[in-house]
A = this chain, B = another copy of it.
């Protein structure tokens, strides 16, 4: 059974970490949002790719949810002592990743090839693909500051500005990275990991050919929202600002027409009926996965459900 998983940062990385514990490497492809990518201090930074890879490689700082474990901060301290911007936390170990990625990009290597090489060096044997080798910058139109880049919104302004809309700049001309469409086309199922629907999953869906490739597929999602609150990040706040009551039902409506099932938390069981009436099968379970074991447990439940779907379809 082949699965293609669409992933943003922290939530997607946790789900991916669960899935790699349950599937052989050749049965899983993780397609990662690169809409957050930006240049800082002259270096290319790919926050979601790094979060996914650090998590899969066991290098992630689980306490913060971003960056690397055993991190030090000498370079950033030295740069900010000279007046450099401090708003984006660049650890020394993390910097090494950005340095080598920037060097290879300048050398003409595409991001997908660099990511494949990094995964090999880090001992990750599942396929991790950036959604595109081109640029497609997520722009956030805010009430207070007008349009700003995603990292400015997310890190510099800590998601404080009220969101009016999103735009994925250049996504029209960003081609899917090699392997992305093939991974979806050859998958039995596509999993939308519990990442932010607006700014983590939507950019991937906006890449040419991705939605089309998914139309023939059975797609299931895991809600990134529990009891009206985002597990991490600004998803719930974004729903509110877009005039939508945040919750499992809102996620179901968001993905309506795309997904056939939605994993929701037991705390949201009351919304199961309404989700079912949208034509989306609700699967009620514990969707929080702070530990490695919890990630494996939830991934196992998702896979068991997909195998069940598989058998149903076979009948």
Interfacial residues, chain A to chain B (CB-CB below 8 A): 41-43, 68, 71-72, 74-85, 91-97, 99-100, 102-103, 106, 117-118, 121
**Complex contact A118–B42 (CB within 8 A):** no
**Complex contact A83–B121 (CB within 8 A):** yes
Known: A72-B74, A82-B97, A84-B100. 8 other contacts (CB 8 A): A42-B103, A68-B78, A75-B75, A75-B93, A76-B96, A80-B96, A82-B96, A84-B103
Q: In angstroms, how far is the closest chain B Cβ from the Cβ of A51?
A: 16
Nearest residue in B to A105 (C-beta to C-beta)?
Answer: B42
Contact flag A74-B96 (CB < 8 Å), given A82-B118, A121-B81, A121-B82:
yes
Q: In angstroms, how far is the closest chain B Cβ from the Cβ of A44?
A: 8
A102–B41 Cα gap in the complex (Å)?
6
10 tightest CB-CB pairs across the interface, nearest first? A78-B96, A74-B92, A79-B96, A42-B102, A84-B100, A75-B95, A41-B99, A82-B100, A79-B100, A75-B96
* Residues in B neighbouring A68, C-beta threshold 8 A: 78
Contact flag A83-B117 (CB < 8 Å), given A78-B96, A96-B78:
yes
